């Protein structure tokens, strides 16, 4: 291989397989780009975000803290005689009618108890702050990891699986659980067997809450009969449709319902009498629908949690799962319309290894289709933002200003995908006209605050290596100022694509 080919491959390894170049990274990869990627595959899985101090709270800790917060709010409500949430609130009259004249120096400072509801809202906000702080610390550490890691391919691979098993902070419980789910259920398993990843996801409180499994009960189970409980089929459907075989695989409504029946009893303890320990994943035998189940043509005898494992195992081993995962990976790494030969390679690696994801990652690195010079992917907002920090050799420090506000503006706030299929992975979704304006505004704001003092053209070479086009290099060299040059760099077509 000639050295110019090696240089291009190094740039591809770092920017397409990885999360974008930090200064010096392309040079480091250029000795042997494939080996550079290969070395990032490891049995212990993904890197873990670093906690600000001590250890991260686990899912149980977070659920216990949430229960404590809810108890506190309930007590305040009772003390103040406020109605329960959901009840119709009658407006609290304020002592000052709107027409009252405002004294010189401004409006009167509200007295305690002046507006009971306002006081209650303030108390609630204060009580919830520790929960939000804990979530924000997780989000910040996750982005910092992506911005600082030397193993960008490992982190990109991880983010793919996190998005495959997408969960989002749709309510208070999920705001606490979503980042914990990724850390506990996804990160350890990204280079292991897919079946283990699927089992870890399906039995984590994050997924059980997110897809409404926690209260699903067999209608004919003792608990179902006694308390008139019933099925919720959300988790069963999304496991089949999104996590494994796919909606086009030919399963029927009856398969979904049968799988939902098999899952009944799988839940999270709520600390109530007979409700299981708070935050602990439990299998409630008394809520499990009795009887044998038939899912996609296979019969499972009534073995409760063992049947769940068997069904998940069958789904993970299903060739339709192999085909679907292969295609999604090819879409993520190479092209919105990936070559069938690449999909076939990944599919066969999955099937030959019984779903060993490290083997699939190796097949991806080995595939010639993954190294075509054309950059087939347009970066998602998260990828664009992370790669911008990386080329500046910086990481975000303020979660609101550096992470949440910019990514909310771009439509991709972490842990907030609107639907369980996670974030879109195609250019048509993300390259809308307004999105380009928003990227330009962010590039400009970032540059004004953080543009590196190094030579802009050299920095562009560090960022893109052999992928930098002469036209872009010229435009960057002609910029009026360093901030302008940096904004231009991160907005060039070759930086926006990978």
> Using the rule CB under 8 A, which residue among 233, 255, 258, 369 binds other proteins?
233
* Cα atoms in the 13 Å half-sphere on the side-chain side of 93: 3
Indicate whether 88 belongs to the interface with other proteins (CB under 8 A).
yes
- Which of these segments, 72-80, 139-147, 245-253, 321-329, binds other proteins (CB under 8 A)? 245-253
**Total number of residues binding other proteins (CB under 8 A)?**
67
Choose between 159 and 442: whose C-beta lies nearer to other proteins.
442
Indicate whether 90 belongs to the interface with other proteins (CB under 8 A).
no
To other proteins, the closest distance from the beta carbon of 428 in angstroms equals 5
Indicate whether 410 belongs to the interface with other proteins (CB under 8 A).
yes
Choose between 364 and 489: whose C-beta lies nearer to other proteins.
489
Choose between 54 and 433: whose C-beta lies nearer to other proteins.
433
To other proteins, the closest distance from the beta carbon of 102 in angstroms equals 25
> Using the rule CB under 8 A, which residue among 170, 310, 450, 482 binds other proteins?
170
**What's the CA gap between 440 and 248, in Å, rounded?**
39
To other proteins, the closest distance from the beta carbon of 469 in angstroms equals 8
> Using the rule CB under 8 A, which residue among 124, 128, 215, 450 binds other proteins?
215
Indicate whether 409 belongs to the interface with other proteins (CB under 8 A).
yes
Indicate whether 465 belongs to the interface with other proteins (CB under 8 A).
no
Indicate whether 430 belongs to the interface with other proteins (CB under 8 A).
yes
To other proteins, the closest distance from the beta carbon of 59 in angstroms equals 19
Indicate whether 172 belongs to the interface with other proteins (CB under 8 A).
no
Enumerate residues 24-63 that contact other proteins by CB under 8 A: none
- Which of these segments, 114-122, 356-364, 408-416, 452-460, binds other proteins (CB under 8 A)? 408-416
Indicate whether 472 belongs to the interface with other proteins (CB under 8 A).
yes
Indicate whether 232 belongs to the interface with other proteins (CB under 8 A).
yes
Which residues of the shown chain bind other proteins in the complex (CB under 8 A)? 86-88, 170, 211-212, 215-217, 219, 224, 229-234, 237, 241-242, 247-248, 253, 256, 378, 381, 409-412, 418-421, 424, 427-438, 440-441, 443-445, 471-472, 475, 478-481, 483-484, 487-488, 491-493, 496
């Amino acid at each position: 291989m000639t050295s110019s080919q090696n240089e291009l491959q190094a740039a591809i390894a770092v920017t397409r397989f990885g999360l974008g170049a930090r200064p010096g990274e392309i040079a480091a990869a250029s000795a042997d780009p494939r080996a550079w990627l290969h070395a990032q595959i490891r049995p212990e899985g993904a890197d873990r975000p670093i906690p600000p101090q001590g250890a991260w709270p686990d899912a149980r800790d977070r659920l216990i803290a949430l229960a404590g917060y809810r108890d506190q709010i309930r007590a305040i409500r009772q003390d103040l005689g406020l109605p329960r949430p959901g009840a119709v609130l009658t407006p609290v009259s304020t002592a000052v009618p709107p027409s009252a004249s405002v004294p010189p120096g401004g409006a009167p400072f509200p007295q305690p108890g002046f507006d009971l509801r306002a006081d209650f809202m303030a108390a609630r906000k204060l009580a919830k702050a520790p929960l939000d702080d804990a979530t924000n610390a997780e989000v910040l550490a996750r982005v910092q990891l992506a911005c600082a890691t030397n193993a960008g391919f490992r982190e990109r691979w991880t983010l793919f699986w996190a998005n495959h098993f997408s969960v989002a902070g749709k309510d208070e419980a999920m705001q606490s659980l979503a980042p914990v789910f990724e850390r506990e259920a996804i990160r350890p398993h990204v280079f292991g067997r897919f079946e283990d990843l699927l089992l870890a996801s399906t039995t984590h409180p994050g997924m059980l809450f997110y897809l409404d499994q926690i209260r699903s009960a067999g209608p004919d189970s003792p608990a179902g009969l006694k308390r008139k409980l019933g099925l919720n089929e959300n988790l069963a459907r999304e496991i089949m449709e999104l996590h494994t075989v796919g909606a086009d695989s030919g399963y029927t409504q009856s398969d979904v319902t049968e799988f939902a029946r098999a899952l009944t009893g799988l839940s999270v303890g709520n600390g109530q009498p007979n409700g299981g320990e708070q935050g602990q994943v439990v299998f409630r035998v008394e809520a499990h629908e009795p009887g044998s189940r038939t899912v996609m043509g296979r019969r499972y005898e009534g073995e409760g949690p063992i049947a769940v494992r068997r069904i998940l195992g069958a789904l993970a081993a299903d060739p339709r799962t192999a085909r679907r995962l292969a295609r999604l990976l090819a879409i993520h790494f190479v092209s919105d319309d990936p070559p069938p030969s690449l999909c076939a390679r990944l599919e066969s690696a999955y099937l030959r290894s019984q779903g060993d994801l490290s083997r699939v990652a190796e097949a991806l690195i080995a595939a010639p289709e993954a190294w075509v010079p054309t950059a087939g992917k347009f970066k998602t907002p998260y990828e664009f933002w992370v790669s911008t920090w990386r080329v500046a050799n910086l990481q975000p420090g303020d979660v609101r200003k550096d992470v949440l506000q910019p990514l909310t503006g771009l439509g991709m706030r972490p842990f907030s995908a609107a639907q369980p299929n996670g974030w879109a992975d195609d250019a048509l979704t993300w390259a809308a006209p307004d999105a380009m304006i928003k990227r330009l505004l962010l590039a400009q704001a970032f540059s004004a605050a953080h543009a590196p003092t190094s030579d802009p053209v050299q920095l562009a070479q560090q960022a893109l290596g052999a992928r930098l086009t002469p036209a872009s290099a010229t435009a960057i060299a002609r910029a009026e100022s360093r901030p302008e040059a940096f904004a231009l760099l991160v907005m060039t077509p070759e930086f926006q694509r990978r």
